[in-house]
Every structure is written in structure tokens, then in C-alpha cells.
Structure 1
Amino acid sequence: MTTKPAEREEVARPDERQPRLTERRRLKMTRSAHAYVRGSATRFYAWLDDQPTGKLPDGPAIWIGGDCHIGNLGPIADAEGNVAVQIRDLDQSVIGNPVHDLLRLGLSLTTAARSADLPGVVSSSMIDALSDGYEQTFDDSRSDATKAAQRPAVVKIAMKNALHRSWRRLDRQTIDNTQLAIPLGKRFWPLSDEEREAIRTLFESKSASSIYAALTGKKSAKGKMKVLDAAYWVKGCSSLGRRRYAVLLNVDDGCSSGGPPFLVDIKQAVAAAAPRRDDASIPLDNAKRVVEGARHLSPMLGDRMSAARLDGCKVVIRELMPQDLKFDADRLSEKDAVKAAHFLALVVGRAHAGQMDARSRQTWLTELQRGRTKTRTAPPWLWRSILDLMVVHEADYLVHCRQFALDRLNR
């Protein structure tokens, strides 16, 4: 393997990783209340556990994303490069109550607005837009409006970047190197000899046919994959500390004819914090659970994913397409925030509604509207829940920041 060190960039040896990753995760969560929300899905579900029965609507048992914050929605591509906005991270996906996705997105949007110093009136309007956009996807009489929904500026920018992005123009969150090597530095750290060998075996053994099929879309077992380079990938927030690798693959010797290598993401699958329905039929293997959730919620992504085992560890494998991007919450403006809330609610609503028949959609719509006194405004249960969540997370965020500062002083 030919991983090249980048100049003046800090790297960590395998035996140094865990404390460094823990510190980095804690630091990332101090940057803003919204950054804290992104990295604290377990706190969100702890709040849900404390809610009395009947306070929140009880939706049909369907696959949910489980962690639908803004950063986990964005443009993704299918194997042919077609791009659409869908849920892009399914680590927490389970068969559960769809209201959990709605609340998680609402909390993310409102804390992003507060972190961007937008007025409280904007946050109030965002919650109304969130409610209206989500409900719209279950109202068959508004299907034409759903199809004609306008993308807000933050979505247009991401889509434009995605549509014009090629492998050789991947930005700093992936790889900007065309020499078939991964540059070590802040984002990519060296592997141990055991990790290198396990990754090579994973892709080059005879049992890798299912991975080959997921990456190429071909069902033939005759294809070949050769590992060109690999590195530990320092990526994400809540997932920092899990096993995560970036791998460059030469598939069917395509690199010999001048084609780019496949950039593959290997991510450890762990138990979901999101509560599942007791009677739900969900794969016990966490990697298979993630893939199954993706196929129901974001098929353009799910069809490119494969569950596997890396040296005994359950992992999810997918090719990272150049068009796969996340939204930049820092781009939220006062003018665009309400439109963004409505559009992203449509994205989550479509993922849910696509799993229901007409009767289930109507029943769920009626339940969502419980207690509403005026049209196109959020029902009281949604407003109060998001308000309570914001208060809890803002307080926890400040406690986290203070503890982080005290720990640094005491070193």
C-alpha cells in the first residue's frame, strides 16, 4: 500500500487513536448548540423515554431514519449518477414511530437557526413550515404541490455542487488526490498491519462477491477488486471512535485504462439508540439492519450498500460517490430558513409515506393534526415538544462546554 504522509498535518498511530478521537468529538460538540445536538442522539432518545404515554402521536410501524438532523439529509446519487435529496445516514434506522424523525429534524432546524442567531420569530415559522411540509406528503389531495415544491437556496447550492462534481474534484471531506494514494493528515490516519491485511482480505477474497455486486451493480461473481490504498477515516461526530476506513479499489482493472478508482467507505455498525417496535421484524445483525433501513428510506443509497464483517466486526460498505453531499447548516439565512424547514420535512415525509398505503397515510395525517386549532400552523404537541427539547439540549450543551473547559484547565 502506498499511503503518502501529508506535510505539516497531524496524524495518530493506531495505538493513539481512541483518546484522540474522544477529545476531537468532545471539541466538535462545543462549537455550537447545533453541533451538540448532532452528536447527542442518545440524549434525544433519553428525553423521549421520559415522556408520558399519549403525549406524542403514535404512528404506524415503518422504517425511520432515527437520526434525522440536517447534516444527515442531502444530495445522494445512485449507481448511474442520478441525484436526489434523501436521508443520507441510516446508522440509527429501525422500524419505529415516525414522529421521532419529525421531532429530531425539528430540533436540528431550530437549534441551527439559534446558532445562526436568527430571530425567534423565524424559529416559530420554521416549526409551522416543518409541520405543514411533513403533513403534505400524507395528504393525497396535495400531491401536485408536493411534486412542485421549490428547493430553497441551501438545497439549490448543494444540488448544484453535487451535479457538477466529479471524482477528481472531491473536496477536503473526501480525497483530492489523483495518484491512487490516500494522503495521511488530519482526516486520514495510518492503519496497523492487522487492519491492512483484514481490509485486503475483505475485498480480495472469493467471498467478496456480494460486495462487488453492491459496488458495481453487476451480479456476476467473476469481477475482481484490488485494494490500492486504505486509511483510518476521521469522519463524523457521534460516530467518532468507531472503526471507519477509506479504501481505494481498482475494480475490474479499470484504473489501468485511465479510470478513477472506487472510493469506498467502511463504517462499523453498532446498536441503534432509536427505540424499535417490540413486534418489528428487524435484522439482528446491525450492519444488515442499516442496509435494510436504507433500502426502505433512501433506495438510491441503500442499493449501493453491503453488510459485511471485517475481522469479526460488523460493518457497512458503500462507494462514496462524488455527488454525495450534506447540507451546510451555516448557510441558513433568515430568508431561506423557513423554506428549508418545509423542503426537508417533505424529504423525510416522502421517505415515510412511501412505506404506507392510502388508508395508513390518512390515519397518520389525522393523528398528526391532533389538537390543531388553525390550518398551516404546528399542532400544540409539536411546538411544545420541540420547545422542551431545545431547553434540555441548550442546558446540556452549556454543561458539556463547561466540563470541557474545566478538564483542559486541570491538565
Structure 2
Amino acid sequence: MARSPHAYVRGNTAQYYDWLHSLAGQRLPRGPAIWICGDCHVGNLGPVADFDGKVQLELRDFDQTTIGNPTHDLIRLGLSLATAARGSSLPGVVTAHMLQHMLLGYQRAFYPGHDGLVAKPGVVKSALRHAQQRSWRMLARERAIDVRQTIPLGKNFWPLSEAERAAIAELFADPLVMEHITGSRAVGDTDAEAPQATVLDAAYWVKGCSSLGLLRYAVLVDFNGAHCLVDIKEAVAATSPRYRRISMPRDNARRVVEGASHLSPSLGQRMVARRFMERGVFVRQLMPQDLKLEIEQLDIHDAVRTASYLAYVVGRAHAAQMDSGVRAQWLQELMANPGKITGTPEWLWQSVVQLVASHEAGYLEHCRQYAMSA
């Protein structure tokens, strides 16, 4: 988080959620009750593959997914893009244009025949092209899985206790787990021969903030003669604001899987919720094509198109959950009180400006504490 302001924004969700609960956050437009990402920054979008290997840019992280206000996803994305622009030394006028075109890209996802209306920027084309070229061997090499079909222990992978190994063996003894996450055959098709899954190796996965104090495992599975890398991750309670009096799964793992199924079907169909060592976890197969969108530097010519396309992806996920009447009503609410000059609604501009300012201050304080502790 001390590496850059953008890294700080990505890693510090608490400050953003505190702002949403403040008076300024309460004054945002109130959108329809749909599944939202809840933590919609640039790093939580990227290439995602479906069972057939088709790759699309979609949302890819759902730890904070809830049924809530779609405005929250837009502001989180706007904050992330504005911080990336400042980190790329782009002038403020570029940020103003990015927010304007971000909203235009989001709106285009709500109209019939929207495919192709929003041009893919260079960074997205490059990420999709790279994802489509990836193979299982490349994934195994990245994760340091060797030819002996083991997960090497070290900095990123830690040994398991006997209880953990027994729990993993029990989890994969259920044939429905691998059927769900690999799409091997229709779940519940009792006439087909049950696929065979053999756990080759497993390890605790030290993977950033998501593994601090939580259950997180990498499991190498032989499934009908093919290797699969499976991720087991503990689901925790979401801290992102949600709509009250709206039915949502109480079990956090089921909440994550259901949110993913609505927002990113290619990923949601490869996930399943289970109980594991008395905790809720979600299990998913890691595909070679699944990548995080990395934007270290925004080019001045690509910045606006990047903002427009990423917002279009978010809009596509939101719009798929609304009928035509709700879509029209939401778009009307979204564009109420547009700014006199740019057309960007004041609520979006003022929200992002306030959040950028507070996160800049928070970042410098974080760096001071980091430097003192070091």
C-alpha cells in the first residue's frame, strides 16, 4: 500500500466505506436494488474465461458483493481511475474527461445492441490477447508447480496440518464440487459416469491481504486425467453498505457465489460454496486465462477510452439484472442535475474529488508510519 497512491486506494476499503456512511455518501442517487461488486476498483476487473475458454473482461473479485446501490460501484471505479491518472502524472483536465466518458460508457451498456459501441482501449486489447494465449503450463510455471505434481513450499505456500489435509480430502470426495467448478457434466445427471478427482497436493496460500488470518488454500487436483488448480478461500462478512430489508444469503460463501453469478457469469459458474472446518468457503477453479488488469501507467491518449470501457463492463453487469423499465428509470436518475460545463453530474464529480483528497492525505500518513516502523 505504500508503493503508490493507487495501491493505497486498492488496499484501503475501510476509508471508502466510512465515506459512504458519511453525510456526503448518504446524499448519492439511490439506484435499484441489484447485486454490486462493492469493491469496484481497476484491479478487480480483468480477463475471465468461461468453461469453453471464451475470454471476456469482467469483474473478478466478489468478497464485498452485496445487494446495494449501483452508484457505489461507479464512485469506487471513478476514485480508482482518478488516482491512477494522478499516479501517471496526467493533468487534472484528463481526469475530468475520464469521469465524463466513464459515465457515457456505463450508460451505453443499458441500450439494446450495445456490443461494439465502446471501443476497447490498448491496455484492454493487450490484456485479452495475452490471456487468450495462455496455457496450463504457463499457469503452473507461474505458481511454481513442478513436474512431480507438487506445490513447492516456501514464501507463498505453507505446509498443512493433518486436520487441514483431512478436511481437503473430505471436500473433494464430494463429486459435485469438481463438477460445479469444471463444468464436466450437468450437475445431477445421474446417468453419466461420475468423474474422478484425486488430490495431488495442497498448501496454505499466502496471497496478500486476502489470506491474513483467514483460510486460503491452493489445491492441485487430477480430474479425469487433467490437472486443475483449485482455490479455496474463506468468505467473511461484507463491510460494503447494503440495502436493508432485502433478502440476501446469510452464509457469506453463498453470498459471494450468488453475487459472482449475477455480475460475472463466466466466473460465477466456476464457483461453489461449501462448509470447510466449520467456516464458509468458496471454491473455484483457476483458469490460465484469468488475469488481473494491471494499469501501472495510463497513457494520455488511452486514459479516456480506458475509463469509458471499464465503466461499460460494470454497466453491462448491472444492466443484466434490470428489466427495461428499471433501466430507463435508473438512467434518468443517474443523469439528474448534470454539470453545466462537462455534463458530468455534480454528485459524481464532488464525490471523487473529496475521496481523492482524503485518500491522498491518508496515503501520506500511511507512508510516514511505514517509514517510521521500518
TM-score (norm: length of structure 1): 0.85
* CA 1:122–1:55: 2 relative to 1, 3 Å: same
Q: Give the secondary structure class of the aligned counterpart of 1:276.
A: coil
Deviations 1:138-196 (CA, angstroms, capped at 9, x unpaired): 3x3xx445533211111011101110000001277544534311122332222223222
Q: Which position in structure 1 is the counterpart of 2:169?
A: 200
Taking the TM superposition and a 5 Å limit, the aligned residue runs for 1:324-403 are 324-373=290-339, 377-403=343-369
Deviation at 1:241?
3.7
The alignment's C-alpha RMSD in Å is 1.9
Deviation at 1:115?
1.8
Amino acid in structure 1 at the alignment position of 2:305: K
**Alignment check: 8 A CA contact 2:101 2:304 kept:** yes
Q: Which position in structure 1 is the counterpart of 2:270?
A: 304
Taking the TM superposition and a 5 Å limit, the aligned residue runs for 1:145-164 are 146-164=115-133
Deviations 1:380-402 (CA, angstroms, capped at 9, x unpaired): 11000001011111111111111
Q: Which position in structure 2 is the counterpart of 1:97?
A: 69
**Alignment check: 8 A CA contact 1:286 1:314 kept:** yes
Q: Which position in structure 1 is the counterpart of 2:158?
A: 189
| Larger deviation, residues 190-199 vs 347-356 | 190-199
Q: Percent identity?
A: 53
Taking the TM superposition and a 5 Å limit, the aligned residue runs for 1:134-145 are 134-138=106-110, 140=111, 143-144=112-113
Deviation at 1:55?
2.1
Amino acid in structure 2 at the alignment position of 1:276: R
* CA 1:193–1:60: 2 relative to 1, 3 Å: same
**Aligned mate of 2:95, from 123, 136, 139:** 123
**Alignment check: 8 A CA contact 1:169 1:176 kept:** no
Deviation at 1:125?
1.5
Deviations 1:56-103 (CA, angstroms, capped at 9, x unpaired): 110000000111111110110111111111100111111000000001
Amino acid in structure 1 at the alignment position of 2:81: L
**Alignment check: 8 A CA contact 2:257 2:282 kept:** yes
**Aligned mate of 1:132, from 93, 96, 104:** 104
Amino acid in structure 2 at the alignment position of 1:166: S
Count of aligned positions: 368
**In structure 1, C-alpha distance between the alignment counterparts of 2:99 and 2:321, rounded to whole Å:** 24
**In structure 2, C-alpha distance between the alignment counterparts of 1:53 and 1:348, rounded to whole Å:** 20
Which stretches in structure 2 are left out of the alignment for 5+ residues? Answer: none
Amino acid in structure 2 at the alignment position of 1:301: L
Deviations 1:233-266 (CA, angstroms, capped at 9, x unpaired): 12243554422111100113x1xxxx4x110011
* CA 1:364–1:271: 2 relative to 1, 3 Å: same
**In structure 1, C-alpha distance between the alignment counterparts of 2:305 and 2:67, rounded to whole Å:** 29
Q: Give the secondary structure class of the aligned counterpart of 1:46.
A: helix
**In structure 2, C-alpha distance between the alignment counterparts of 1:175 and 1:59, rounded to whole Å:** 45
**Alignment check: 8 A CA contact 1:73 1:327 kept:** yes
* CA 1:326–1:362: 2 relative to 1, 3 Å: same
* CA 1:378–1:81: 2 relative to 1, 3 Å: same
**In structure 2, C-alpha distance between the alignment counterparts of 1:171 and 1:111, rounded to whole Å:** 33
**In structure 2, C-alpha distance between the alignment counterparts of 1:53 and 1:184, rounded to whole Å:** 45
Deviation at 1:357?
0.8
Q: Give the secondary structure class of the aligned counterpart of 2:67.
A: strand
**Alignment check: 8 A CA contact 2:273 2:282 kept:** yes
**Alignment check: 8 A CA contact 1:131 1:377 kept:** no
Deviations 1:105-135 (CA, angstroms, capped at 9, x unpaired): 1111111121222222222221111111112
Amino acid in structure 2 at the alignment position of 1:388: Q
Deviation at 1:345?
0.1
**Alignment check: 8 A CA contact 1:73 1:326 kept:** yes
Q: Which position in structure 2 is the counterpart of 1:177?
A: 146
**In structure 1, C-alpha distance between the alignment counterparts of 2:247 and 2:121, rounded to whole Å:** 37
**Alignment check: 8 A CA contact 1:38 1:238 kept:** no
Q: Which position in structure 2 is the counterpart of 1:111?
A: 83
Deviations 1:28-58 (CA, angstroms, capped at 9, x unpaired): x111111111111121111010125762110
**In structure 2, C-alpha distance between the alignment counterparts of 1:172 and 1:401, rounded to whole Å:** 34
Q: Which position in structure 2 is the counterpart of 1:22?
A: none
| Larger deviation, residues 84-93 vs 195-204 | 195-204
Q: Which position in structure 1 is the counterpart of 2:203?
A: 231
Q: Which position in structure 1 is the counterpart of 2:258?
A: 292
* CA 1:344–1:310: 2 relative to 1, 3 Å: same
Q: Which position in structure 2 is the counterpart of 1:246?
A: 218
**In structure 1, C-alpha distance between the alignment counterparts of 2:89 and 2:267, rounded to whole Å:** 34
TM-score (norm: length of structure 2): 0.93
Asked if 1:266 is matched to 2:229, the reply is no
Q: Give the secondary structure class of the aligned counterpart of 1:57.
A: coil
